[in-house]
Structures are given as structure tokens and as C-alpha cells.
Amino acid sequence: MKIINEIIYIETETGICIYNITPQIQKVIDSNSVISGQVTVFSRHTTTALAINENEERLLEDVKVHLLKLVPDTEKYLHNDLHLRDVPDDEPINVHSHLMAMMLSTSEVIPIIDGKLALGTWQSVLFFELDGPRNRTFLVQVWGE
């Protein structure tokens, strides 16, 4: 059995953005000729997240609105009292992004069958930027043969 680790880079846009990263994951599987196994996708940041769901534009807009209703960026949060913490000069006020990330997930595990991600018809792997714009990375780890 082989284990492949690949870091994928992504430049994100401002605010909450959701990216379909399914093609990048499938490319790692294809380039390593894995037929059977599993892939773990891991978000490497505290203000990003992952989910498996439908990549439909209007649904994704609904998700963004819902996240901001659950964790408004206008609320008062202790983490945003930057003057009370030792932080770099460019530290953002972003506790809402941390809280959103904690409500979602940092990883997903997907089976590989016949060289393809075993996702359902409408499923895609979605990467959530919750504090953009930023240069981000996520890890794709494939186990298989």
C-alpha cells in the first residue's frame, strides 16, 4: 500500500468564499494511479474548513448567509480585544471566522473505488475560506494501491 501526501495551494478571495476542490483531489489520485483506498483532506488553518455537499451556486450563497446569521462579525467577542493580547501589528479582527470554522470540519475522509472518489451524484468536496483573502493550503493524503 502506498501513502501519498500532497499539499495544495489556493489563493482565496475576500470574506467567506467556498471552493470546489474535488478536481484537485482527484488529480492527486490520478497522478499516483491509486485504484482502491481512501483519501483524507485536511484544512491547515484555524479560519478555514471543509465539507462535503452540493456545489450549487444558490445553496452556497445560502450557506454564507446562514453562517453570518449564526456568527455575526458585528458582535462583541473577547478574542477581538487585540489590545489585551500580544499579537502582531497586522492581526485581523476575526473571531467570527474561528467560530465558523469550529462549527464546520477540518477534515474529510473519502473512499476511492476504481480510481475515483466515491462521492454521491451531487456531492463535492468544498473548501471554506472564512477570513479571506489569503494564501491557503490543504493537505491531501491518499492511502491505497
Query: pLDDT category, 88, cuts 50, 70, 90?
Result: confident
Q: Which three cell numbers stand for residue 136?
A: 491557503
Q: Where are the domains of the chain?
A: 2-79+92-144
Query: Measuring CA to CA, how many Å separate 143 from each of 71, 83, 107?
Result: 36, 45, 15
Q: Which three cell numbers stand for residue 14?
A: 475576500
CATH number at 2-79+92-144: 2.60.120.460
Q: Are 141 and 39 in contact (CB under 8 A)?
A: yes
Residue 77 has pLDDT above 90, yes or no: no
User: What CA–CA distance (Å, rounded) separates 137 from 125?
Assistant: 15
Mean pLDDT on 102-124: 98
Mean pLDDT on 51-67: 98
- Could you count the other beta carbons within 10 Å of the beta carbon of residue 45? 16
Tens-digit pLDDT profile for residues 1-54 = 999 999 999 999 999 999 999 999 999 999 999 999 999 999 999 999 999 999
pLDDT cut 70: percent of the chain above it: 100
Q: Backbone dihedral region of 116: left (phi > 0), alpha (psi from -120 to 50 degrees) or beta?
A: beta
- Could you count the other beta carbons within 10 Å of the beta carbon of residue 46? 14
Could you tell me the pTM of the whole model?
0.94
102 Cβ contact list (under 8 Å, min separation 6): none
The residue among 38, 20, 21, 19 whose CA lies nearest residue 29 is 38
